A and B are shown apart, each in its own frame.
Chain A
Amino acid sequence: MALLEIENLQTHFRTPDGIVRAVDGVSFQVEAGETLAVVGESGCGKSVTAMSVLRLIPEPPGKIAGSIRFNGRELLGLSEREMRDIRGNEISMIFQEPMTSLNPVLTVGWQIGETLRLHQGLDKRAAEARAIEMLQLVGIPEPARRVREYPHQLSGGMRQRVMIAIALACNPKLLIADEPTTALDVTIQAQILDLMRDLKRRVGAAIVLITHDLGVVAEVAERVVVMYAGRKVEEAPVGPLFRNPRHPYTQGLLGSVPKLGSSLTGTATRLSEIPGLVPSLKQRIEGCVFASRCAHATDLCRKVAPALEAKAPGHLAACHYAPRESRGAAAMVAA
């Protein structure tokens, strides 16, 4: 049994213009202790998937259907009180904006201690002592002084470290990180990614990393789920995904990113573009979600949605024409 099993997740929002199918039938699993990246561009449903796991979607206008099992327990049927026992305790989350996700009028020590007081019944003093330990763990210098400080006294990188300390305070089994380094500078991003890798070794929590940055995925993840327009289009271990992407969208995405060092090999070429725009999620899409932008699309693609098939061991792709054997993949890319 996997730690987290998501099956046919559908998160829809009712809006005045109709129903927005933000997540439309997504399934994947997260094993204990593994790092899974969910990648895609804005509006592909990656953040909504994460919010759905923690049931942070306001209902209404949102509506979550399908199944989300954590440790074998169905989360979608739980009461709000039962959910609260899980949030921040067994599953916790790091958000993108360290500026807005901390409470500006409470000390960071209080905010780290909050989950400990609520979930583990620690008293004020014990919670603060543990908060200092946590600050030390995430590499904040002078933790005994910093624990009494307010978020505005810390830099962006430090605030993100505090967010990580809050998330890890109760030793969760699953950590969901939604674009944890997107708002940070390159050198600070390197610090935070290094910290996450180090903590993962020490704490052993599984991580679901939500990001649009393929560089971050390559550096941190073990397995990758690629989302497009509310659906999962490809899933594979990180090596095969980058070496041998099967879905035309993943191929396009990888081709559109300039690579550091490209000017030195003399292989610098024009970036490949994915023509057109992401389709509106307000209409139900018949057929393949990527058909409108795919160079290989045929009538079949426009009529029949391709099923997710194993194209190689552990490598799923939702494409009628993605070859099953790795030998054929080169021909597909060349075509």
Chain B
Amino acid sequence: MNAPVSDANRPLLEVSGLKKHFPLRGGFLGGVTGYVYAVDGVSFHINRGETLSLVGESGCGKSTVGKAILKLFDITDGQVVLDGRRIDNLPAGALRPMRRRVQVVFQDPFSSLNPRMRVRDILAEPIRNFGLARSRAELEERIAALMDKVRLPRDAVNRWPHEFSGGQRQRIGIARALAAEPELIICDEAVSALDVSVKAQIINLLQDLQQELGLALLFISHDLAIVEHMTHRVAVMYLGKIVEVAPKRQLFAAPRHPYTEALLSAVPVPMPGAQRERIILKGDVPSPINPPKGCRFHTRCPYAFDRCRAEEPPLRQTEAGHWAACHLHDLPAEQNPLAGAKGAAVLAV
């Protein structure tokens, strides 16, 4: 392998200006009648060994970002750079070695494993595809090691997916992702479908594997408590845009976007009688086919003023490493309702 020399200081993944617009077809001749602006200009980076979480509600485009990085479809605009090399425009052949380095774990462990393949074959496929084993014995050795890593019994390789519970299947899904020896794993709601006690097992497993193997994770989730537990940094998405990015503690202690503030206050917490101010957003998320002008959040924002309806706020740095897209930060601090936002800090007593 003549892989390019890695620069340890360079981010593993850099996404800039990413857009994905899905055409809507209809009418008499089936022409394009509009677009779903699923992802509309998203930029972020992930460092080696780091977990970045993408959070947001359904339809905000977080899964589309994951799929765009995996090149499961062509993107509309922007760049995806893996370890210094642009990968979004590579032809299939040149992309192949790059695919090995980015793997994915999907949400539903019942539909993401081929029911007609034994566990051994599910795990052998990526090893063979990327030529990672030189002999049959080495292949078997690697499969056994993968089973150990995800804490499944070695003899389970001869069984079929339907013989396993949801949590065990998710372990198989993780083993399959690890088989390619990736540097980045995209976890798209990887624990959302699991029961509470099994969820904890898989979260612990992912954290252990990250420590052991130095993996970077893009953790796509709508569950803020799990994100807080798992992540190093968080990016909050709303209607196809990132509205806030920050290191975990900064974001949870002092959110700098009204949407993040509302999300944090809306999460039900398992502490009866917890005293906190709840911000209940009115209405629903607008359609990504026809997103609002100006700031996309202004239709639900409790603090919106005239400028928000006319002008779209860019993502700007408010403190070191903390970026937010909100006009409120142009106001003097005493008029900025977010200046004193405490987020989840009110719970941490």
Seen from chain A, the residues whose Cβ lies within 8 Å of a Cβ on chain B are 41-42, 155, 157-158, 185-191, 193-194, 212-219, 238-239, 242, 252-265, 268, 270-274, 277
Contact = CB atoms under 8 A, between A and B. Distances in A.
A268 B229 contact: yes
A264 B253 contact: yes
Contact of A273 (B204, B267, B271): B204
B167 to A, nearest CB: 8
Q: Is the interface of A mostly helix, strand, loop or mixed?
A: helix
Given A260-B225, A263-B228, A273-B200, A186 B347 contact: no
25 contacts: A41-B196, A185-B57, A186-B57, A187-B280, A189-B266, A213-B268, A215-B268, A215-B269, A217-B270, A219-B269, A242-B271, A252-B197, A253-B196, A255-B200, A256-B200, A257-B200, A257-B270, A260-B252, A260-B267, A261-B252, A261-B344, A261-B345, A261-B346, A270-B204, A273-B204
A242 B266 contact: no
Interface in B193-249: 195-197, 199-201, 203-204, 207, 222, 224-226, 228-229, 248-249
Contacts of B165: 277
Given A193-B268, A261-B347, A264-B348, A187 B281 contact: yes
A41 B345 CA distance: 29
A264 B252 contact: yes
B263 to A, nearest CB: 6
Contacts of B229: 258, 262-263, 268, 271
A268 B231 CA distance: 12
A158 B284 contact: yes
Contacts of A158: 284
B196 A187 contact: no
B4 interface: no
Contacts of A265: 348-349
Nearest to B267: A260
Tell which of B200, B201, B252 has the most Cβ of chain A within 10 Å. B200
Interface in B242-265: 248-249, 252-253, 262-265
Contacts of A187: 57, 262-263, 266, 280-281
B252 A242 contact: no
Q: How large is the interface on B (under 10, 10 to 19, 20 to 34, 35 or more residues)?
A: 35 or more
Tell which of B272, B274, B345 has the most Cβ of chain A within 10 Å. B272
A214 B270 contact: yes
A157 to B, nearest CB: 6
Contact of B348 (A258, A261, A272, A273): A261
Given A185-B58, A188-B284, A218-B274, A260 B200 contact: no
Contacts of B271: 218, 242, 259
B220 to A, nearest CB: 15
B85 interface: no
A213 B192 CA distance: 12
B324 to A, nearest CB: 18
Nearest to B278: A190
B273 interface: yes
Interface of B: 57-58, 165, 167, 195-197, 199-201, 203-204, 207, 222, 224-226, 228-229, 248-249, 252-253, 262-274, 278, 280-281, 284-285, 344-349
A186 B270 contact: no
Given A260-B344, A262-B228, A272-B200, 7 more contacts: A186-B263, A218-B271, A218-B274, A260-B225, A270-B204, A271-B200, A271-B204
A259 B270 contact: yes
A253 B344 CA distance: 22
Given A212-B195, A239-B273, A258-B229, A264 B344 contact: yes
Contacts of B263: 186-187
A261 B195 CA distance: 22
Nearest to B201: A273
B269 A218 contact: yes
Contacts of B280: 187, 190-191, 194
Contacts of A255: 200
B264 to A, nearest CB: 7
A274 B229 CA distance: 18
Tell which of B203, B207, B228, B265 has the most Cβ of chain A within 10 Å. B228
Given A256-B197, A257-B270, A258-B228, A264 B284 contact: no
Nearest to A42: B195
A254 B270 contact: yes
A256 B284 contact: no
Given A186-B224, A194-B280, A274-B197, A260 B347 contact: yes
A200 to B, nearest CB: 16
B106 to A, nearest CB: 19
A241 to B, nearest CB: 8
Nearest to B166: A42
B200 A263 contact: no
Tell which of B195, B201, B280 has the most Cβ of chain A within 10 Å. B195
A187 B280 CA distance: 7
Contacts of B346: 261
A188 B268 CA distance: 12
